[in-house]
């Protein structure tokens, strides 16, 4: 793994972490909680947002309007199968999802989950860091690269790792604050 591949991997880790955090159901309507829902229609599987309009008419309701009304049952079935702890209600030609208010206990559980996912992401970042540092040490041992160049690359990569960790921590802190103070 070279440094540019490592930076791509780090960006992927951060992106996945932020995506997971945005999918948390936090007591208000957020269409992103449906991003993982895959619907079987037209002899294939596709994301719900590819076959329906998803909106939030009010802070506690998600409204799903399929472009093809014959897909209502498939969408309802997919939401139940996704196991995202929400109940769809077929309402004529639309599906409504009411998001209940969160109790303090649920908030605390979400904060614990955020902390666990934050640490998992930071561990993944550290693993990438370890691989790159090993690679740079191997380059130094094999020769052809000066010790100063290797140290400079290590320092630059360490700074990049620090900014990635800071980014994860900052996003995690904001999410925890959002959960506790909504």
**Same domain assignment for residues 93 and 47:** yes
Given a cut of 50, the residues of the chain with pLDDT beneath it are none
Q: Note whether 54 and 62 are within 8 A (CB).
A: yes
Q: What is the CATH number of the domain that holds 58?
A: 3.30.1360.40
**Same domain assignment for residues 40 and 82:** yes
Nearest to 39, CA basis, from 95, 92, 1:
95
pLDDT at 25: 61
**CA dihedral in degrees (83, 86, 87, 88; nearest 10)?**
-90
**Same domain assignment for residues 170 and 122:** yes
């Amino acid at each position: 793994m070279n440094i540019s591949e490592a930076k791509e991997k780090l960006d992927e880790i951060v992106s996945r972490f932020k995506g997971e955090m945005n999918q948390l159901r936090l007591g208000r309507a957020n269409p992103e909680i449906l991003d993982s829902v895959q619907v079987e229609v037209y002899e294939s599987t596709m994301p719900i947002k590819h076959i329906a309009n998803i909106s939030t008419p009010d802070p506690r309701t998600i409204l799903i309007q399929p472009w093809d009304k014959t897909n209502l049952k498939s969408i309802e079935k997919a939401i139940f199968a996704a196991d995202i702890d929400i109940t769809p209600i077929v309402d004529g030609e639309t599906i409504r999802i009411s998001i209940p208010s969160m109790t303090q206990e649920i908030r605390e559980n979400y904060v614990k989950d955020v902390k666990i996912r934050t640490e998992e992401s930071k561990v993944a970042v550290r693993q990438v860091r370890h691989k790159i540092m090993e690679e740079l040490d191997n380059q130094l041992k094999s020769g052809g690269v000066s010790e100063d160049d290797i140290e400079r690359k290590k320092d630059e990569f360490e700074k990049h790792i620090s900014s990635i960790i800071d980014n994860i921590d900052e996003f995690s802190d904001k999410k925890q604050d959002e959960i506790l103070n909504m």
